[in-house]
Amino acid sequence: MNLKEKDSKYIAHTYARFPIEIVSGKGSLVYDENGKEYIDLGAGIAVNIFGLVDDEWINAVNAQMHKLQHMSNLYYTEPCADLAEMLCKRTGMSKVFFSNSGAEANECAIKAARKYAADKKGKHFYTIITLKNSFHGRTLTTLAATGQEEYHNDFTPLTPGFVYADPDDIESVKTLVKENKVAAIMMEIVQGEGGVIPLKSDFVKGVAKLAEEEDILVIIDEVQTGNGRTGELYAYMNHGITPDIVSTAKGIGGGLPIGATMLGEKVADVYQPGTHGSTFGGNPICCAGAVNILRRIDDKLLQSVKEKSEYIFKELEGAPGVVKVNGMGLMIGIETAKDAGDVIYECMNRGVLVLKAHNNVRLLPALNIPFDQLKKAVAVIREVCAQ
Ligand SMILES: Cc1ncc(COP(=O)(O)O)c(C=O)c1O
């Protein structure tokens, strides 16, 4: 049985895989089973912030691996405390809960908001407002938070207590606040899986103001937008708001599974021993790698993200066959005249890996992708869109 047959026989068919096997990589270059080279503009869906087989990250992970690979959260370990301190100092948040994925980081955020509201206003204040077209994960609760019916259909009943506002429409949020006993409003600053659509700054600020007036918590899902992706450490920083809870995952781990839920002042002590937990959360190896990643997301890197973003917009906006370019930083969606799926396959044939979000071509390259590789890849996308 070859690999494709074995995969098809033994792995649940939840992914529509491309017909290539990725065997190895270095930085933003990856190689398939025939040794063909590709420039990778997907980075494992915003995970490999410093590309593949990154030496500094490997050294950090390796050093920790030789000390301690895992210990129960019943004991103190250093890497998770170091990582939490770095996150709090760089965001102004107060405390962090560690888990293993974006969905779990969001579960923790939702539980924290519900507990805060229950303690302060009463148990019936459990509703969470999220936005239509959002994506927050695949567990039954984060699916309920996801404002896209197509993801819900086969899995009802979902966790109750979620209602959906129209993005960029503050009146729609106000109406839901009036009609429900609301604990929190949760949103992505750029809707990633929903097609790479940034929220308008006025809307984000309007939600933050409304939440402050109504004593409702603001949860920002930074699973995809976080960790330098938009040119700021976290995307909410582009709008000058102070969220109560920030969830992140993907890029912070540099390729190892980790989720982090940052808790602001109001909710810092909402959790007490026994109210939440995770066996692997705060795993020393994942945290040691993440400390290395976070340390390297500095002003210089963030500036280069903005410059690369400007370059992509400049090259693709108004190019033949490109209808619209959307996004922020190195999180970019391209609406193409041709079917996005066809563009993606043709790019792959020509040695460039790109992703899809709804019917848009989506780019999420490593933040340190060398400029010459980025230029080559963007030229290929231009050519393919034009044909
Ligand atoms: C905004 C957002 N939230 C949550 C998730 C879920 O993350 P995970 O797949 O790590 O559970 C994703 C994944 O794409 C995401 O983009």
pLDDT digits (tens, 9 = 90+) for 136-176: 999 999 999 999 999 999 999 999 999 999 999 999 999 99
Same domain? For 48 and 119 the reply is no
Ligand 1 pocket: which of 128, 135, 151 to mutate (most atoms within 8 A of CB): 135
Same domain? For 47 and 94 the reply is no
Whether the predicted model's global pTM rises above the 0.85 cut = yes
The pLDDT of residue 100? 98
Which of residues 296, 330, 357 is at a domain's end? 296
Same domain? For 44 and 61 the reply is no
Same domain? For 189 and 214 the reply is yes
- SS3 state at 86: helix
The pLDDT of residue 60? 98
Same domain? For 232 and 136 the reply is yes
Greatest distance between any 2 Cα atoms in the chain: 62
pLDDT digits (tens, 9 = 90+) for 78-104: 999 999 999 999 999 999 999 999 999
Q: Distance from the CA of 146 to the center of ligand 1, in angstroms?
A: 10
The pLDDT of residue 172? 98
Range of the structural domain that residue 199 is part of: 57-296
pLDDT digits (tens, 9 = 90+) for 100-127: 999 999 999 999 999 999 999 999 999 9
- Total domains present in the chain: 2
Nearest CA to ligand 1 atom 3: 136
Same domain? For 177 and 311 the reply is no
Contact (CB, 8 A) for 279 and 71? no
Nearest CA to ligand 1 atom 4: 136
Q: Distance from the CA of 249 to the center of ligand 1, in angstroms?
A: 8
**Ligand 1 surroundings by CB, under 6 angstroms:** 101-103, 106, 135-137, 188, 192-193, 221, 223-224, 249
Portion of the chain with pLDDT greater than 90, in percent: 100
Pick from 71, 69, 77, 67: nearest CA to 279: 71
- Count of residues making up the chain: 387
* CB-based burial, 78-117: b 16+ in 10 Å, e otherwise: ebbebbbeebbeebebebbbbbbbbbbbbbbbbbbbbbbb
Question: How many C-alpha atoms does 72 have within 13 Å on its Cβ side?
Answer: 2
CATH of the domain at 374: 3.90.1150.10
Ligand 1 pocket: which of 130, 136, 355 to mutate (most atoms within 8 A of CB): 136
The pLDDT of residue 122? 97
